[in-house]
Amino acid sequence: MKLLVTIPVYNEENALPVSIPALHAFLEANLADYDWEIEIADNASIDATPEVSGKLTEEYARVRYHRLEQKGRGRALKKSWMEADADIVSYMDVDLSTNLDSFPPMVHALAHEGYDIGTGSRLMKGANTERSFKREFISRSYNLMVKAMFFTRFSDAQCGFKAVTREVVDVLLPHIKDNVWFFDSELLIIGEKSGYRIFDVPVKWIEDLDTRVKIVSTAIDDIKGLIRVRRNFWRGAYTGLRKG
Q: At what angle do helices 183-193 and 133-150 cross, to 10 degrees?
A: 30
pLDDT surpasses 80 at 226: yes
Query: What's phi and psi for 222, nearest 5 deg?
Result: -65, -40
The domain segmentation of the chain, as residue ranges, is: 2-241
Confidence of residue 129 (pLDDT cuts 50, 70, 90): confident
pLDDT tens digits for range 158-215: 899 999 999 999 999 999 999 999 999 999 999 999 999 999 999 998 876 555 566 7
* 42-76 as b/e: b if 16+ CB within 10 A: bbebeeebeebbeebbeebeebbbeebeeebbbbb
Residue 131 confidence (pLDDT): 72
Which residues are registered as beta bridge partners of 206?
Answer: 130
Fold of 2-241: Spore Coat Polysaccharide Biosynthesis Protein SpsA; Chain A (3.90.550)
- Report the 10 Å Cβ neighbour count for 9: 25
Residue 132 confidence (pLDDT): 76
Residue 128 confidence (pLDDT): 87
- Under the phi-then-psi rule, with left for phi > 0, alpha for psi from -120 to 50, and beta for the rest, what region is 13? alpha
pLDDT tens digits for range 1-14: 999 999 999 999 99
Classify residue 144 as exposed, middle or buried by CB count within 10 Å of its CB (0-12, 13-18, 19+). exposed
**130 in Cβ contact with 207 (< 8 Å):** yes
DSSP state of 49: H
pLDDT tens digits for range 144-154: 999 999 999 99
pLDDT surpasses 70 at 232: yes
State how beta strands 88-92 and 161-165 pair: antiparallel
SS3 content of the chain, % helix, strand, coil (to 5): 45, 20, 35
Confidence of residue 134 (pLDDT cuts 50, 70, 90): confident
pLDDT surpasses 90 at 51: yes
pTM: 0.93
| Distance separating the N- and C-terminal Cα atoms of the chain | 22
Single-letter residue type at 98? T
pLDDT surpasses 80 at 64: yes
pLDDT tens digits for range 71-125: 999 999 999 999 999 999 999 999 999 999 999 999 999 999 999 999 999 989 8
Return d(Cα 242, Cα 244) in angstroms, integer: 6
pLDDT surpasses 60 at 221: yes
Between these two residues, 23 and 138, which has the higher pLDDT value?
23
